[in-house]
Amino acid sequence: MSTDRSSLTSQEREKASVFHSWSAQSTLNPMMVKSARGVYVTDEDGKTYLDFSSQLVNTNVGHQHPPVVAAIQEQAGILCTIAPQHGYQSRYRAAELILDHSFDGAAKVFFTNGGTESVEHAIRMARLHTGRQKVLSTYRSYHGGTATSINLTGDPRRWPNDNGTSGVVHFFGPFLYRSVYHSTTEEEECARALENLENTILFEGPAAFAAIILETIPGTAGIMVPPKGFLKGVRELCDRYGIVYIADEVMCGFGRTGSWFAYHDQDIKPDLVTFAKGVNSGYVPLGGVVINEEISATFNDRVYPGGLTYSGHPLACAAAVATIEAMENEGIVENARRIGDEVLRPGLRQLASRHQIIGDVRGTGVFFALDLVTDQVTKVPLAPYGGSSHAMNEILTACRSEGLLIFNNFHRLHVVPPCTITEDETREGLARLDRALAVADKYYVGA
């Protein structure tokens, strides 16, 4: 039955007809976007925002990057869609480019529609390859919202969906700032986290584990760069007990950390890599799994029981090819590294010197987090675990007033602009963030 909507605003029509994810529907107040370009987003009222969030940390080459838009348009004129059992140029070219930037021994790419499906299929591959069922993942992690991936997730979004039968075993990864191991140095934190992981494997049964999945640098959970040697130690445990190592690079991959993949900086070689987001900056939904030679060979003469109608969609793969080539040709990955080292890290530390509510600054590339606290000694967070607070809401409102889009999770602000951001744009964003943080300085109660 048709309804007269002519008297409603755009936002009212959005709220009335669209069911939003991760939200209580009655409290929604979505910003209505008109357009975006580069590192800027413009709403329907004409106000322009500097995008320090990269939306959901995925627009790595910024908005409306001309070569990527052109590639999608060109592909649409040739072939918009085709069933995945067929081959076509944009798909194999995307796979080749991804493999070129992966690890020694990377054999093939299985394409999905996004990150959560990539995780689902990586776990399925590991279980079929090993004949085992259990999977290890950390608390303070996010791996997706579908059945298996949400159970792997280590934050409160898992709770309503966890019935305890998924075969997932969680453990605490290293995080010195809020250490559960009472460590005082990165070396202690690394050693104790590895000892706990091995004990967990031993007490759960080494022969039970198909895989361990780790975000190389946890994203939504707090951008916690692992201490030197931790991931190498995980690799050694996987080799010792025959466990498949899955590197989740959905958020931290494709230039975000100043490297093509974050694991490149950790001197490790995973068995499977899940990716999405930055592979084509989210212009068309795309994800996938990079598969090593051994696991790929498992399915040479054995049917892999999985697939998707839109696996390696032509428009998505054309966008991936154009995105990766732009990153290569324009030095975008190198720019992310330089901006992080020369502008973001020192700039955020300067903010911390002016705002005591900033308890910790951490990150790399264009992938940083501010841990906000009410007391730097006790490290009481500015918002409770799994929730928000009036103080955080004030900061977010101030950011909006300053024309700054920022990524927020619990008591943290994540500073994650596109990898293409310039030095001047970064400094402008930091100035806006500086002014926004001032509204919450009154909530600091420490000495």
- Domain check: are 279 and 313 in the same one? yes
Checking DSSP bridges between strand 209-215 and strand 244-248, what pairing results, if any?
Answer: parallel
Q: Is the pLDDT of residue 145 over 90?
A: yes
pLDDT at residue 3 in the model = 80
3-state secondary structure of 94: helix
- Domain check: are 318 and 374 in the same one? no
Q: Is the pLDDT of residue 75 over 70?
A: yes
pLDDT at residue 283 in the model = 98
Q: Of 164, 167, 93, 163, nearest to 317 (Cα)?
A: 93
- Domain check: are 72 and 196 in the same one? yes
- Domain check: are 359 and 240 in the same one? no
Average pLDDT over residues 138-156: 96
Tell me the pLDDT tens digit for each residue of 226-238. Answer: 999 999 999 999 9
- Domain check: are 257 and 351 in the same one? no
Return all residues near 135 (Cβ < 8 A) that are at least 6 apart.
123, 126, 127, 152, 167, 168, 169, 209, 210, 211, 212, 213
Tokens of 399: 């950011």
Tell me the pLDDT tens digit for each residue of 171-220. Answer: 999 999 999 999 999 999 999 999 999 999 999 999 999 999 999 999 99
Q: What is the pTM of this model?
A: 0.97
Judge whether 282 lies within some domain.
yes
pLDDT at residue 4 in the model = 85
Q: E strands within 76-140?
A: 106-112, 134-138
- Domain check: are 169 and 56 in the same one? no
CATH code of 251's domain: 3.40.640.10
- Domain check: are 297 and 362 in the same one? no
Judge whether 51 lies within some domain.
yes
- Domain check: are 224 and 157 in the same one? yes
Average pLDDT over residues 155-161: 92
Only one residue has tokens 């100043």, namely: 258
Output the DSSP codes for 330-387. Answer: HTHHHHHHHHIIIIIHHHHHHHHHH-TTEEEEEEETTEEEEEEBS-TTT--BSS-TTS
Only one residue has tokens 């900086």, namely: 265
Judge whether 111 lies within some domain.
yes
Judge whether 236 lies within some domain.
yes
Q: How many domains does the chain have?
A: 2
- Domain check: are 229 and 358 in the same one? no
Q: Which domain holds residue 439?
A: 10-65+331-443
Judge whether 337 lies within some domain.
yes
Q: Please give the angle made by the CA atoms of 46, 48 and 49, to the nearest 5 degrees.
A: 145
Judge whether 125 lies within some domain.
yes
Judge whether 173 lies within some domain.
yes
Tell me the pLDDT tens digit for each residue of 257-271. Answer: 999 999 999 989 999
pLDDT at residue 107 in the model = 98
- Domain check: are 347 and 241 in the same one? no
DSSP-derived secondary structure letter, 139: S
- Domain check: are 111 and 238 in the same one? yes
Tokens of 46: 């004409």
Q: Is the pLDDT of residue 445 over 90?
A: yes
Q: Is the pLDDT of residue 349 over 70?
A: yes
Q: E strands within 38-97?
A: 40-43, 48-51
Q: Please say which residue of 280, 301, 330 terminates a domain.
A: 330
- Binned at pLDDT 50, 70 and 90, residue 165 comes out as confident
Q: To the nearest whole percent, how much of the chain has pLDDT over 90?
A: 96
Output the DSSP codes for 228-279. Answer: TTHHHHHHHHHHHHTPEEEEE-TTTTTTTTSSSSGGGGGT---SEEEE-GGG
Q: Please say which residue of 295, 330, 365 terminates a domain.
A: 330
Q: Please say which residue of 293, 313, 330 terminates a domain.
A: 330
Judge whether 4 lies within some domain.
no
CA distance 324 to 333: 10
Q: What share of the chain is helix, strand, coil (3-state, %, to 5)?
A: 45, 15, 40
pLDDT at residue 1 in the model = 63
What radius of gyration, in Å, describes the C-alpha atoms of the chain? 22
- Binned at pLDDT 50, 70 and 90, residue 6 comes out as confident
pLDDT at residue 134 in the model = 98
- Domain check: are 30 and 147 in the same one? no
Q: Of 321, 281, 302, 316, nearest to 420 (Cα)?
A: 281
pLDDT at residue 164 in the model = 86
Tell me the pLDDT tens digit for each residue of 304-327. Answer: 999 999 999 999 999 999 999 999
Tell me the pLDDT tens digit for each residue of 392-427. Answer: 999 999 999 999 999 999 999 999 999 999 999 999
CA distance 4 to 60: 40
Q: Is the pLDDT of residue 275 over 80?
A: yes
pLDDT at residue 443 in the model = 97
CATH code of 398's domain: 3.90.1150.10
